[in-house]
Amino acid sequence: MSLQIRLAQQRDIVHLMAVERSAAQLFRQQPEWRFIAEGEVMAPQQHAAFIAERREWLAESDNGECAGFIAVQVQVGDWHIAELSVAGTWQRQGGGPGRVGPGGWQH
């Protein structure tokens, strides 16, 4: 199944939050990182701000499932990854390393 990258929209916020919750569960396997799985996800207002500034993208499957997202902050001449999450069912599939690299988030 292929993934398409698109700008996130306000209607995606509930799905973005679910992806982040799902992604964090991987950290339950490591006691020293468990706090990530038990912590809060980005607030809806944070997603809304990234979306309004066109700084959040999502990876969407052919059937419309949100597989992951990236939110970035603008730095001088560059971007800083504020959040990068991949849904648990999409983790370890090889899609991430090919999308984020020296050339940035690849469409």
For the segment 25-60, what is each residue's pLDDT rounded down to a tens digit?
Answer: 888 888 888 888 888 889 999 999 999 999 999 999
Write down the pLDDT at residue 101. Answer: 46
Arithmetic mean of pLDDT, 2-28: 91
Contact present, 60 and 6 (Cβ < 8 Å): yes
Strand bridging mode 66-75 / 3-7? unpaired
Write down the pLDDT at residue 96. Answer: 55
Write down the pLDDT at residue 97. Answer: 52
Q: How far apart are CA 30 and CA 46, in angstroms?
A: 27
Residue 100 has pLDDT above 60, yes or no: no
For residues 28, 32, 38 and 42, what is the CA-based torsion angle, rounded to 10 degrees?
-110
Q: How far apart are CA 86 and CA 34, in angstroms?
A: 17
- Average pLDDT of the chain is 85
Q: How far apart are CA 87 and CA 78, in angstroms?
A: 26
Give the SS3 label for residue 4: strand
Q: How confident is the model at residue 102 (pLDDT cuts 50, 70, 90)?
A: very low
Identify the CA nearest to 51 among candidates 15, 86, 100, 21.
15
Write down the pLDDT at residue 1. Answer: 63
